[in-house]
Each structure stands twice: as structure tokens, then as C-alpha cells.
Structure 1
């Protein structure tokens, strides 16, 4: 039995034999923390958490600091048992002891069961795959809901919201023309410079025109437009719907007996179905114009010769193959942007997280679908 300080009797009385009780007395509060800490440290480590009987009837005061010391002295399991088996304790003290016991019991278990690096890595990979699977299911389900909504309203002209569609077309198409045209013009110029530099060593600089035409008509025109729409329009859709979700405006729409899908999603999908092909066409023209400027300045290929080579060497099928991907990208971008908006939980932080998520998902899906389309075109010989 260790020798206790003289003040031990006012706070703690250790049992002299196993039949006696450990008596907790006095105020176990922050004001006596230093003295209580000294008393608890005086109890041997082997003797702690091994008391069979504990008497709390003389406990005068208790707060979180004192409860933490009791958990260290008695152990979280016995502290939980004491809080449940002492009906004389006040309800607030029982609640405090139970919460301290649960918090103390969780932390050591986590420390003891720290997984190995490989196990932790596999666990994170599994969680990521499960999350990806859930995202795919939610996206496919929402695409199905959107398509069913379009089919349902197709033969009901009275349910068409033309004003909302026109307003969304203005925001997604007309306001995006400058940035799309400027970006594709510069990319067209860069591709022309690259083609001129590489093909010049083979004496084939004239084929720079074909390189620009094929790349923009089949790939870059629609791909760059889709990536810009993912960063500009999908994020806007998510922020708009997410803000409405946070302000409970979507709940108000449902309370009025209206369908949020018809009011918020379908106008945006229809607007992007109109905007994407138009912007893709503008992107193709701008890319070809950027390449024409570089060819005229660096390769001495006049605009007349440039247009003549386009007419002779480039078939209309390349243009059609590129344009065919625009409606698919439009639906995917609009659906992902709206879906992430509906996932917002209600806080400003959630709006930002889902806005970022919608942009990343749109870019990933657009590039993935474009790669699959390129493989399909190649296998079909188009």
C-alpha cells in the first residue's frame, strides 16, 4: 500500500483489503486538479483499474477534469458501470461520466488497433472503389430520371418552360462565346506552330493544314468546348441548385406540388443541348482561323490556299463525327452539375465541395467518353 498524502482522506481513500471499497470524496473539480493529479499518480499503475468496489456516495463536486482523472484511476469500463449502477447520482453527473467513459474507451482501442500501412492502403483503395461505384449508380439513376422527364414532357407543350430555357441558353451559350473562341483560336495557333516545327524537318510543312483540320474537327473543337463548359457551366449549375438547396427553396418547390426536376434540371439540360453544338461549331471555326493565321505568317500559305486544301483534303464526315459528340457531352455535363447541386447538405462549405466535385467529374467523364469514342471511330474505320 503506498503512502498517501495527508489530504488523501478528503478526496480518496484506498481500500486496505479486497473487501473494502475505494471511497471517492470531496470535490473532483478543476480547482483541485493539481492535488487530485498527485493523488492519482501516487496509486501504482498495476493497482489502477482493478478496484472491485467503489463508493461515490461522498462525492461532492464533479466536472470534466475530475471525471477524466476518475477514468484514469478506475478505467472507462468501470466508470461506465458506476454511472449506470448508482441511482443516487444526479442525472447530469451520470451523463458526464458516461460520455467521459465512452470517449476514453474509444481512443485507446484506436491506438491499439492502428492498422499496418499496407492494410490502411488497401482499406482506402476499397473505400474509394466503393465511393466510385456509388457515384456511378447515382449518375446512371439521375440520367434515367432526366431522360424519363424529357420523354414525359415532350408531348406536353404546356409544361415546357421556354423562358427558363432561353435564359439558360443566354448564360451557357452567348456569354461563353468569347472565352471559347479565344481559347480555341490560341490552341489552333499552337498546333500550327507545332506542326510547322515538326513537319518542316521532313519537308512536309504543307500538311500542317491537314493536321489542324483533323485535330479540331474530330477532337479538339468539341473536347475543349466540353472542358470549358465543365469548368464554367457545370460549376454554375451546382452552385445555383446547391444554394437553393441550402436555402430550402427546393423544399418549397416540392411543398407547392411542383417537380424540381422539371423546373431546375430539364431547362438546363435543354439549354446545354442547344449551346454545346453551337459552341463546338464556333470552336472549330476559331481553331481553323488560328491555324490559318499562323500558316499565313510562318509557312507562306495564303488564306485562299488554306481554304482550298481544306476543301480538297478534309471530308465532311470528320466534321460530323466531331459534332456527334457534342450532345452527349452536353447531357453528361448538365446532369452531373445538377446532380451535385442536389447533393449539397445545406452549408456553404458543402456548396464549395460539390462545385469542385462537379467540375472534376465532368472533366473526367468528358475525357473518358471522348477516348471511348475515338476507339470506336478507329474500329469502325471512320
Structure 2
């Protein structure tokens, strides 16, 4: 049966004395600790009858002596050492840390973000350089090229995503055509809905929405897969046996994203145009096949090339972000979730920024 610490109050020479007996350990002091908080003033605390004490018991007695304004008596050598140790370990720091004002916290947070962005940018450039070196090594030694891993990643990035990208693109085409028709009908120019749908999907929305979908679907998978392998030390094990993680893990994923993005972007644009033709058949009384044949007349070939040029760059950004964040995982499982989120956010942000750059660039060179 567990023995609990007990106490009694007796009269002493200088006033009431609190006598404690039994073990003062973490497993037996809970009832005593609660009752000590309810006591009034005593002149001393006598622990001569205590036969066992640990750090928790010493700290409770020392804290009670300070709260009750009493001295500690009857302590043996072990109890004295423990009480002196907890007494010297006392901290005067506030329990609630100081919180800086808004005018101080906001600049600090902004500065930390800017510094973190600069460091991350430098690390990503270094990561890109290492990836290029790994690709060069595979070109020099083609027998080491991970063909099966590349085919597997192409299936995951491309073939497996056809359904969701097709559905998303079809609905986007419907929305663009329907909303464009509503606005153009005010000017009696609803026939130009074909121009709007065709050029917008081939030039911008097809590849942009595909990149966002691939970032959320495949980029997050890259980060989670590589991050989990880092956490379970599989990446370190690969290095130990002489296998380059970049050649086996990073290169196939980045190549799959780069190779499949033009295909998926073109597929997305075609499905979006079909969605626009579908809704135009009902909302504008434009026959389905007439809509599709008119696309070839009103959409210049440069719009197709603009989308195809942007697609591999977007694929590189998505693959790089996912693999980079996955390789940064360390510590615990929470880091995997954090890095996966960062991979998606970083990829989408960079894709949108680059899309804006491409829009200005192609306009300046006359592809508009």
C-alpha cells in the first residue's frame, strides 16, 4: 500500500510548528501539497520524521516555508542538499514573457521574413545546382539513370491526374464562356465568347490552373515522400551505401513534372475549350462543332506556343519546391506537414509571379 506524506501542527517555543512525516516524493506528496497551500502562519517546518525525500518534495517544503514565513528544521544531509539545490535554481524571470509592442513586433516579423526568404532563395539556388550536377552525372553514366522511377513518377504526375485536371478544366471552360457571354451580350458581341474562351484557356488559364493543381497534388506528395524518408533516415542510408539521393529521388520527380506539364497544360486547355463549347451550345445557341471549328480561325498559333513555353518552367518550379522542402525535413513528424504546406504555397506563389513575368515578356516581344 502506498504511504502518503502527512503533517500535524504542534505548539513550539516560537509559535506553531508544522511537523511533517512520511515520504516526501513525487508519488506521495500530492495530498500534502494541496493542504500546505491552505495553512496559516507557522514559525517552523520540522521534517525530522521524513525518511525519504526527492527534488519535488524538497521544492514543495522550500516553497511552503517561504509562503508560511517559517524556517526548516530537522533536515538531514540529503534533504539539505536538495533544498539548497532547488533554492539556488529559483528564477526571478516573469512567468509571462514580455511581449513587444505592435510597432516593434511588425518590423521584426517583416525583417525575419525577408531574411528567411533570402536564405531560402540561396539554398534553392544551391539545390538547383546540385540537381543539375546529378543530371550531368546521369548523362555521363546513362546506365545509372533511374528509368523505372521516372516512368513511375510520370504515371503519378501525369496519367493519374488526368481525371481531376479534366474535370477542373471543363468547369473552368464553362465558367469563362458563360460569364464572358453575359458581359458581351450587353454589346451584342456574344460571338466573341469563342475568342475569349480559346485565347484565355490556351494562353493563360490552361497551364496556370494545371500548375496549381500539380503543385497541390504532386508537389505536396514530393515533399511528404522525401520528408518521410529523411525522417526515417532512409536518405542517409542511401548515402551510406553509395547511392545518390538526388539521382534516385529528386531527378526523376523533377523530370516527370517538367515533361508532363506541357502535356497536361495542353490537355487542360483543350478540355476547357470543350467545356466552353458545351455551354455555348445551350446558352448562346452556337452549335458545338461550330464553336470548335471557329477556335482554329480566331486563336493564333502563338497562344499555343506561349502556353507550351511556360509549362516546363512551371513544372520545374513545382518539382523543385516539392523536392527542396522534402529534403529540408528534420526533427519530427510535424516538420513533414510544415514542409509539405510550404512546398505547395511556395510553388503556387512562384508560378503566379512567373506567369505575370511571362505575360509582360511575351507582350514586349510581340506575342500578344
Shorter-chain TM range is 0.7 to 0.9
Change (3 A) 1:96 1:367: farther
Find the partner of 2:211 among 226, 233, 242: 226
Find the partner of 1:105 among 81, 92, 116: 92
Measured against aligned partners, the alpha-carbon deviations of 1:85-128 in whole angstroms (never above 9, x if no partner) come to: xxx76898389628942xx33435x64x4322322233333323
Find the partner of 2:292 among 276, 287, 307: 307
With normalisation by structure 2, the TM-score equals 0.80
Find the partner of 2:306 among 298, 301, 321: 321
SS in 2 for 1:107: coil
CA RMSD in angstroms, aligned pairs only? 3.3
Find the partner of 1:93 among 67, 82, 87: 82
Q: Which runs of 5+ in 2 are unaligned?
A: 1-12, 44-49, 67-76
SS in 1 for 2:242: coil
Alignment partners' CA distance in 2, 1:380 and 1:41: 88
Find the partner of 1:199 among 171, 180, 184: 184
Alignment partners' CA distance in 2, 1:358 and 1:164: 21
Find the partner of 2:241 among 247, 251, 256: 256
The answer for the alignment partner of 1:64 in structure 2 is: 56
Change (3 A) 1:34 1:168: closer
Kindly indicate whether the alpha-carbon contact (under 8 Å) linking 2:17 and 2:42 is maintained by their aligned counterparts in 1: no
Change (3 A) 1:33 1:155: closer
1:140 aligns with 2:120: no
The answer for the alignment partner of 2:254 in structure 1 is: 269
Alignment partners' CA distance in 2, 1:303 and 1:277: 26
Change (3 A) 1:99 1:152: farther
Find the partner of 2:106 among 118, 121, 126: 121
Deviates more, 1:289-298 or 1:189-198: 289-298
Matched pairs, number: 338
Kindly indicate whether the alpha-carbon contact (under 8 Å) linking 2:211 and 2:314 is maintained by their aligned counterparts in 1: yes
Alignment partners' CA distance in 2, 1:357 and 1:155: 34
Find the partner of 1:169 among 138, 154, 169: 154
Alignment partners' CA distance in 1, 2:57 and 2:109: 36
Change (3 A) 1:94 1:335: farther
Alignment partners' CA distance in 1, 2:331 and 2:84: 31
SS in 1 for 2:17: helix
The answer for the alignment partner of 1:6 in structure 2 is: 16
Alignment partners' CA distance in 1, 2:224 and 2:87: 42
Alignment partners' CA distance in 2, 1:223 and 1:252: 38
Kindly indicate whether the alpha-carbon contact (under 8 Å) linking 2:211 and 2:351 is maintained by their aligned counterparts in 1: yes
The answer for the alignment partner of 1:330 in structure 2 is: 315
Find the partner of 2:326 among 328, 341, 362: 341
Measured against aligned partners, the alpha-carbon deviations of 1:244-273 in whole angstroms (never above 9, x if no partner) come to: 122221111011011101110001111112
Change (3 A) 1:175 1:33: closer
Structure with the higher helix share, 1 or 2 = 1
Kindly indicate whether the alpha-carbon contact (under 8 Å) linking 1:238 and 1:338 is maintained by their aligned counterparts in 2: yes
Measured against aligned partners, the alpha-carbon deviations of 1:26-66 in whole angstroms (never above 9, x if no partner) come to: 997746546765789779xxxxxxxxxxxxxxx98453364
Kindly indicate whether the alpha-carbon contact (under 8 Å) linking 2:16 and 2:42 is maintained by their aligned counterparts in 1: no
With normalisation by structure 1, the TM-score equals 0.78
The answer for the alignment partner of 1:149 in structure 2 is: 134
Question: How far has the Cα of 1:177 moved from its partner?
Answer: 0.8
Deviates more, 1:145-154 or 1:173-182: 145-154
Measured against aligned partners, the alpha-carbon deviations of 1:224-244 in whole angstroms (never above 9, x if no partner) come to: 110110111011111211221
The answer for the alignment partner of 1:46 in structure 2 is: none
SS in 1 for 2:285: coil
